[in-house]
Amino acid sequence: MNGLLKAFVAAGLVVLAGCGDEEIILEGPREALRPSQDQPETVNRTLPISLPPAVANADWDHKGGSQTHAIRHPALRQPLSLVWSADIGAGNSRGQRLTADPIVWSDRVFTLDSEAQVSAFDLSGSALWTTDLTPPGERRGEASGGGIAADGGRIFVTTGFGRVTALDPASGAVIWEQQLEAAATGAPMAADGVVYLTTRNAAGWAIDAATGRILWQVLGTPEERSLVGGPSPALSGELVIFPFASGQLVSAVRSTGGRAWIASVAGQRATRAFSRVRDLTGDPVVTGGRVYAGSHGGRTSAMDAASGTVLWTAEAGAMSPVWVDGGSVFLVSDRNRLIRLDAETGETIWSVELPFFAADRESRRKTAFAHYGPVLAGGRLVVLSDDGVIRNFDPASGALLSTDTLPDGAARNPVVAGGVLYVVTEDGRLHAFR
């Protein structure tokens, strides 16, 4: 479950406790400080959707499936059956969080646990190797964060210890390691011999994939508030797009590091305290000449990939990379709703409710469920949840088609490769469904 809502409520109570003894009664109507749920205004419509034939993609080598964070309609049959499970190391705990989606590359599955341990498995679930990336002099488990990417015959891993490491995918041996000025905010992106990543001090980095040498940096606007396990840079032709905790996107020329454009996912929900965190939870997705990105503050925007011009902004924050296909944008929102937008205009086509709070009674609603995805695979939208359920939805109408049960609550986004759904759960296990 997502304890973020609980944390913000607790912070608010601390502020209230510090007020003076005199109680002042203000006139006027009373409004809830934390509405149980925003009331949707959408009149849902069922619109046919044209999808390309499903393809059994062999790899899912970056967060979101590719260097652009976009992939089209992977094959996935229904119903699903659990075929194997494997231990990846430490799961979620009070002090540590799983932040890395698994990747599938070269007939192997690679994972990063909440304590900087990287593991490799074959496609039958057999463990091949593990590598602990805790730096010398540091205690294991002192930092969470980071992610994994694969390119050019190497695995690249960022961690909360402020390092990026290149590993041999066959053995897990460290090829090189580069110390950064701050902790990495999310997974790296690697393309054409260069590794790109962002750090919590609002810096975007380009690093030589062969040697680990720093090539150049680009700076964004610093932000005090950020989330553990932030977004990943995205490839856009000759540009690379860096996302920052301020809600800002900085596009840089890959060859020089010079800025091409700067844009922001602007706006936030006025009724929710936790929306003041403006971090980009919906990693930039590049497809069809556009960039789509969503913020924790309750907004998702489409921008022109060449100029950064904002084309539209929807009042729904994407909590994971959006899925763009069939002229539509699908996302799980900051209000725990699965939403379909018109990719051209940003207009809402339908919006359906996902489980919100862990308790039925409003007086006990302190912890919200977390939902991951969606992935459009095998003709349906797949959403994972930390209530231990896989939900399958009709992309045309948003209707719930079926559910499958997880051994534990989901902790990361769904990954589909080779007709298999891979799920990392809160207890630090990797599950394969076919």
The reported pLDDT for the residue numbered 24 is 38
Which regions of the chain are under pLDDT 50? 1-37, 39, 273-275, 363-364
Asked whether residue 4 is assigned to any structural domain, the reply reads: no
Number of structural domains (the chain) is 1
CA angle, residues 424, 430, 434, in degrees to nearest 5 = 100
- Give me the domain span that covers residue 76: 10-14+45-433
Looking at residue 342, its pLDDT comes to 98
Asked if residue 418 belongs to a domain, the reply is yes
Is 371 within a domain? yes
Residue 76 falls inside a structural domain = yes
Specify the pLDDT at position 277.
Answer: 54
The pLDDT tens digits of the residues spanning 344-386 come to: 999 999 999 999 887 655 544 567 899 999 999 999 999 999 9
Task: Give the DSSP per-residue string, 294-351.
Answer: E-TTS-EEEEETTT--EEEEES--BSS--EEETTEEEEEBTTSEEEEEETTT--EEEE
Torsion (CA) 168, 169, 171, 177 in degrees, nearest 10: 30
User: What's residue 237's pLDDT?
Assistant: 98
Give the pLDDT of residue 177: 98
Domain CATH number, residue 154: 2.130.10.10
- Asked whether the beta carbons of 389 and 346 are under 8 A apart, the reply is no
Is 29 inside a domain boundary?
A: no
Does residue 37 lie within any of the structural domains? no
What pLDDT does 321 receive? 96
Single pTM value for the model: 0.89
**pLDDT at residue 15, as a whole number:** 36
Specify if 145 maps to a domain: yes
